[in-house]
Amino acid sequence: MFYRIFLLFCFLSIFVSDLYSQFSMTDTTFTAPFVDTLNSSAVDYKSRPGYLQLETGERENLAKSRYAYIVYTGNMPADTSRRNALRLLDGIYSSPSFVELPPLNLGGLEGCYIIIDLQAFRTIKKVQMYTLGNNLNLRPRAYSIFAGEDTVTMEKVFQETDNTIAQPIAEFTPVVAKFVKIVFDVIAQNNSTVVSEIEVFGEGFLPTGVFLSSVRDFGKPVNFSTLEYTGIKPTGTDIFFSFRTGSVAAVDSTWSPWSDSIANSGSLFFVDEARRYLQYRVRLTTTTLLSPEIDELKINYDTVKVVSVSDARIDPQEAQVLKEQEFSLIIETQFSADDYGIDTIYVKVPSPVNLRNVLVNNVPAGYLARVSANDFTIVFNSTIKSNSTIRIVFTSTPFLAVNPYKIQVSSKLVSNNPQKIDSKMSNLIEAWSVLTVGVPEKLIINAKADPNPFTPNGDGRNDQTRIEFFLGNVGEPGNLIGKEFRKISIKIFDLNGRMVKDLLESETKAYAFISDNGVLWDGNDDNGRKVRPGVYLYQIHLDSDNGGETVTKTVVVAY
């Protein structure tokens, strides 16, 4: 058995190091026609041709689409829409998007103020106001500007005692602030003060920006591989990439959703393939005064596919929640003459599986397998290159509302570039996903310690025990099941009730703490000393809406 496992890992190590993708698409410019200008924001690809970086605060209105409210010290306008401060941050400078402060003869009073919440800490240095219709009679006569990290300890950064223009600009020494307050120190006797927009500007780079490429045409359906890029990423900055693919040029409902984000050059990305069209998205972030930047982006791909047509489903697709049962993952394949063929199947699993059998056209197949808590890999003894039905039989315990078994296949000829298998979608659920029904009686299911007893004597055999269990978060509505985070703790006690080890304090959603994902205890107490031999209690506690749930069981330490 050890020899077979050794051969499998040797085989898999060859699989990730032999050949590279045939072709690549390279972007070294990020301007038109390679950018979706409508859906890119807070990024700069113009000031330094060939470079993509964050936009600077000097050119970006930090207040737009943020939050604002107004406080009146005197009468308010009768028309409630004229006191909606959010209209000052909507980018509309004309009627009816404005705020009115009544004049003194209509009950208005000096000292009215507007507070703007930038919703992030920013370095600001300029505020500009726009008077409705550029009408001088409606201008702010005198005003003060305060800024601060909260609304209590704000400091005055600017004061204008006699404003004579319709679009006054206040520039001041840069200050870090989350809130900006504009106080109207003087109100006209007979004319309202009417402001249609307020803009706030700063310095340094914006904290986050998004670049969306235009749709790229690869000429034919291809098998996408890895992303590579060059640029700089100073400390405190990040770059994230995601992708989506389609078979038609215009993005529509048939396109794949955005892939999970990747950050490292050379990473594989998981998208629907083979597909002809691709779009990528870059998210740049910074928590410093520096910006990340990109000067070249390369997407590698193969024009020869592992398999031309594929379709995967799971049977049964509906199962009792938190109940172990047998499933068949079925993959239908159709090959063209130049396809590489399938040598390996990789499946990412939502909960650990016990592999039972693999059949090709209902005939048991020769294969080697590696199974872990989060995935399993099947390596066939011979390449599959003819139209086939592959059936993978396993047992598992579904615990989420939707339990996807995502499949990729690869060939030993291009083992560094697996291809995603297709799965028909219905109501936004792919057919390789198990849907759970019912409600478990408890949230903590099938708790056990394995091995039990265990012998933490350092001889390399049974030195640790693994505490395993399923955790099901039951919530309403049903689409939230498995998505709520709850506090969980695991503690070890002796039989006198004294806690000897605080093993886990964390927050978690529904999860399978099984196999490699179990919680290990090495027999040490909180001071790092081995506990004495004997019987101990391990207690799993989960906070929940009904006050919590606790499971207590025994584990034996022996030497």
Q: How far apart are CA 11 and CA 137, in angstroms?
A: 82
Q: Are residues 341 and 416 in the same domain?
A: yes
Domain endpoint, select from 186, 202, 218 = 202
Q: How far apart are CA 174 and CA 299, in angstroms?
A: 41
230 domain-assigned: yes
Domain endpoint, select from 281, 302, 323 = 302
Q: Are residues 408 and 521 in the same domain?
A: no
Q: What is the pLDDT of residue 548?
A: 79
Q: Are residues 182 and 212 in the same domain?
A: no
Distances (CA, A) of 241 to 260, 270, 280, 285: 8, 12, 7, 12
41 domain-assigned: no
Lowest mean pLDDT, pick from 178-187, 196-205, 468-477: 468-477
Q: What is the pLDDT of residue 482?
A: 43
Q: Are residues 84 and 190 in the same domain?
A: yes
CATH number for the domain harbouring residue 264: 2.60.120
For residue range 83-94, list pLDDT tens digits in order.
Answer: 999 999 999 999
* pLDDT at residue 298 is higher than 60: yes
45 domain-assigned: no
Distances (CA, A) of 465 to 246, 365, 503: 47, 35, 12
Mean pLDDT of 304-331: 94
SS3 (DSSP) at 115: strand
Percent of the chain with pLDDT strictly greater than 90: 74
Q: What is the pLDDT of residue 559?
A: 87
Q: How far apart are CA 436 and CA 320, in angstroms?
A: 5
* pLDDT at residue 441 is higher than 70: no
Q: Are residues 126 and 221 in the same domain?
A: no
Q: What is the pLDDT of residue 481?
A: 40
With cut-offs at 50, 70 and 90, classify the pLDDT of residue 13.
very low
Place of tokens 């972007």: 27
296 domain-assigned: yes
Query: Residue 493 corresponds to which tokens in the numbers above?
Result: 């006690």
Domain span at residue 82?
67-202
Q: What is the pLDDT of residue 484?
A: 63
Q: Are residues 250 and 314 in the same domain?
A: no
Q: What is the pLDDT of residue 319?
A: 92
* pLDDT at residue 212 is higher than 90: yes
With cut-offs at 50, 70 and 90, classify the pLDDT of residue 545.
low
Q: Are residues 274 and 379 in the same domain?
A: no
% helix, strand, coil for the chain, step of 5: 10, 50, 40
Place of tokens 């027999």: 523
Give the range with max mean pLDDT: 2-6, 458-462, 521-525: 521-525
329: closest CA among 376, 374, 282, 293?
Answer: 376
- Which residues have CB under 8 Å from 258's CB, separation 6+? 242, 243, 244, 281
For residue range 144-162, list pLDDT tens digits in order.
Answer: 999 999 999 999 999 999 9
With cut-offs at 50, 70 and 90, classify the pLDDT of residue 546.
low
Q: Are residues 289 and 275 in the same domain?
A: yes
* pLDDT at residue 3 is higher than 50: no
For residue range 355-397, list pLDDT tens digits in order.
Answer: 999 999 999 999 999 999 889 999 999 999 999 999 999 999 8
Q: How far apart are CA 469 and CA 331, in angstroms?
A: 31
Domain endpoint, select from 267, 302, 337 = 302
2 domain-assigned: no
By the 8 A CB rule, do 104 and 171 touch? no
Q: Are residues 72 and 164 in the same domain?
A: yes
372 domain-assigned: yes
* pLDDT at residue 477 is higher than 70: no
CATH number for the domain harbouring residue 536: 2.60.40.10
* pLDDT at residue 51 is higher than 90: yes
509 domain-assigned: yes
Q: Are residues 172 and 234 in the same domain?
A: no
Lowest mean pLDDT, pick from 409-413, 494-498, 506-510: 506-510
For residue range 238-249, list pLDDT tens digits in order.
Answer: 999 999 999 999
Q: What is the pLDDT of residue 473?
A: 57
CATH number for the domain harbouring residue 147: 2.60.120.260
Q: What is the pLDDT of residue 313?
A: 97
Q: How many structural domains are present in the chain?
A: 4
CATH number for the domain harbouring residue 374: 2.60.40.740
164 domain-assigned: yes
* pLDDT at residue 6 is higher than 80: no
Q: How far apart are CA 47 and CA 65, in angstroms?
A: 25
Q: What is the pLDDT of residue 17?
A: 37
By the 8 A CB rule, do 219 and 301 touch? no
Average pLDDT, the chain: 90
Q: Are residues 451 and 362 in the same domain?
A: no
With cut-offs at 50, 70 and 90, classify the pLDDT of residue 323.
confident
pTM: 0.63
With cut-offs at 50, 70 and 90, classify the pLDDT of residue 53.
very high
Query: Residue 163 corresponds to which tokens in the numbers above?
Result: 């404003």
Q: What is the pLDDT of residue 516?
A: 83
With cut-offs at 50, 70 and 90, classify the pLDDT of residue 11.
very low
* pLDDT at residue 16 is higher than 70: no
Q: Are residues 331 and 355 in the same domain?
A: yes
Mean pLDDT of 186-201: 96
* pLDDT at residue 508 is higher than 90: no
* pLDDT at residue 453 is higher than 50: yes
